[in-house]
Structure 1
């Protein structure tokens, strides 16, 4: 009983700091002066959205996510693994925008706006340590069972939307470590094959959903019209094995 109490206390304490990633980040946005502090789920973010400008989006060119210079080397992983995380982020963003009524394009021709996503920091998952933290976290009672901060991966990412003149109309700066409180973690806990990018892939999806939510809400609040993404668009952002091909 005492062990259970100690683990519970630890879990509650972790929830208070679950979203701090402490991952080194590189700046990629064209400007930062328009960003304001906000919260997406339990993750503190900095964001900006011009609802009026987003209401004028007729189609949006989604460039495949990139990895900022130096991030691959700092992560200790190879470029191919980080590219996989970028693919997950890109496809998730495409799907979020498609569900939200944006016409997503894979090429810039004819698009009224453009989006760029960048991985600006990355801490790899330590599979052995992270597996142990998952087991311990499973003993914490309650609706949210945090993983202990041992071997857990982190991701920092930035996203930006430009109009046809290249002016920033929306942006987000986001970073988190993959506790369940960050919006990620569920897939990693359920997955038996934890790898070096498992947390990063979960977090890439969480970031894409958060930024997509910002855009959809701002557009809708401003009375913007909805469009439709052609079927088959989103799978083009990712080729990985084990993923479906349905958008």
Structure 2
């Protein structure tokens, strides 16, 4: 108990850091074009986006390319080969999950009406020790809003575009860093925040790549799911771990995938 009280000054100091942990602007891109990007509805992320709704309305079948790691002097990340595959696979899986609700996902790009490319441009590791301390302190703080300690705030920068007949019809540049105060769950994994942010990135990517009006949501069984190669759409293990420990336990989709596809 004494340890918890000793932690509180550091926890409370996070309040003063909330204004300086916004994700940096991505200055390097793999997109085929950037001149028509405009600021979007950011929420807790920094976003630039482009949508050509008339052309999006002509798309029916989509081919999803493997997510890549951007290279260049302006990129920011420090990842081992295994960590790289885990992050890329999670982003690719979440993009598949989201787009498959809107389009038919095909495995042959020659029969597609559009192709989707994505990349990670920035990665900030989650501080494991500080995350663990925040989880312990969080057990004594009522309500859904948690506190994160300095040194534990990870982040992710990613981008994606949809190409039809050689032209970009939708694109997004997205970046987000964990907040000291909020609902970003601490993790003992260096990849914790980046993997948590894969889903909100995919949500936004799918939003800007969607036709208007939206078609009826596509439903699948485990036998018809075009994204079955990535495993389950809902990670029940992660929910259980969070409920018991207050920590996020990331799924490692690369454990069941052929990494040579990357």
| The two structures share one fold, judged by TM-score above 0.5 | yes
Could you say which residue in structure 1 is the equivalent of 2:91?
Answer: 89
SS of corresponding position for 1:116? strand
Q: Which of 79, 96, 100 pairs up with 1:77?
A: 79
Q: Cα offset for 1:93? A: 1.0
Q: Secondary structure at the match of 1:21?
A: coil
- Report how many aligned residue pairs link the two structures: 229
Match of 2:212 in 1: 220
Q: CA distance change for structure 1 residues 195 and 168 in 2, over 3 Å: closer, same or farther?
A: same
Find the aligned partners of 2:110 and 2:30 in 1 and give their Cα distance.
Answer: 24
Distance verdict in 2 for CA 1:126–1:159, change over 3 Å: same
Quote the Cα distance in structure 2 between the aligned partners of 1:181 and 1:115. Answer: 34
Match of 1:131 in 2: 132
Within 1, Cα distance between the matches of 2:15 and 2:153? 17
Q: 1 or 2 for the larger relative contact order (CA 8 Å, sep ≥6)?
A: 1
Contact 2:157 2:176 in 1 (8 A): yes
What is the CA distance between 1:38 and its match in structure 2? 1.6
Distance 1:195 1:141 in 2: 24
Aligned to 1:157: 158
8 Å contact kept, 1:45–1:172: yes
Q: Which residue of 2 aligns with 1:179?
A: 179
Q: Given the superposition, is the C-alpha separation of residues 225 and 169 from structure 1 closer, same or farther in structure 2, using an over 3 Å criterion?
A: farther
Looking at structure 1, the residues matched to 69 and 89 of structure 2 have their Cα atoms a distance apart, in angstroms, of 11
2:224 corresponds to 1:231: yes
CA contact (8 A) 2:176 2:197 kept: yes
For residue 104 of structure 1, report the CA deviation from its aligned partner: 1.5
Which SS does the other structure have where 1:205 is aligned?
Answer: helix
User: 1: CA distance between counterparts of 2:62 and 2:178?
Assistant: 29
Unaligned runs of 5+ in 2: 1-5, 232-252, 258-262
* Long gaps (5+) in structure 1: none
Check conservation: 1:24, 1:122, Cα contact below 8 A.
no
Structure 2 CA distance, aligned partners of 1:161 and 1:182?
A: 32
Q: Is the 8 A contact 2:76 2:121 kept in 1?
A: no
Q: Is the 8 A contact 1:96 1:209 kept in 2?
A: yes
Q: CA deviation digits over 1:72-104, x for unaligned, max 9?
A: x953321221111110111111111122x2111
Indicate conservation of the 8 Å contact 1:56/1:224, yes or no: no
Equivalent pair of 2:26/2:175 in contact (CA under 8 Å): no
TM-score (norm 1): 0.76
The change in CA–CA distance for 1:180 and 1:89 in structure 2 (over 3 A counts) is farther
Distance in 1 (CA, whole Å) between partners of 2:180 and 2:204 is: 15
Q: Is the alpha carbon distance of 1:207 and 1:107 closer, same or farther for their aligned partners in structure 2, counting shifts above 3 Å?
A: same
Task: Check 1:159–1:69 CA distance in 2 against 1; reply closer, same or farther (3 A cut).
Answer: same
Give a deviation string over 1:174-228, Cα, whole Å, max 9, x none.
1111238787x23xx3x6xx21212211112221112112323xx133x668777
RMSD, aligned CA? 3.5
* Mapped contact 2:23–2:45 kept (Cα < 8 A): no
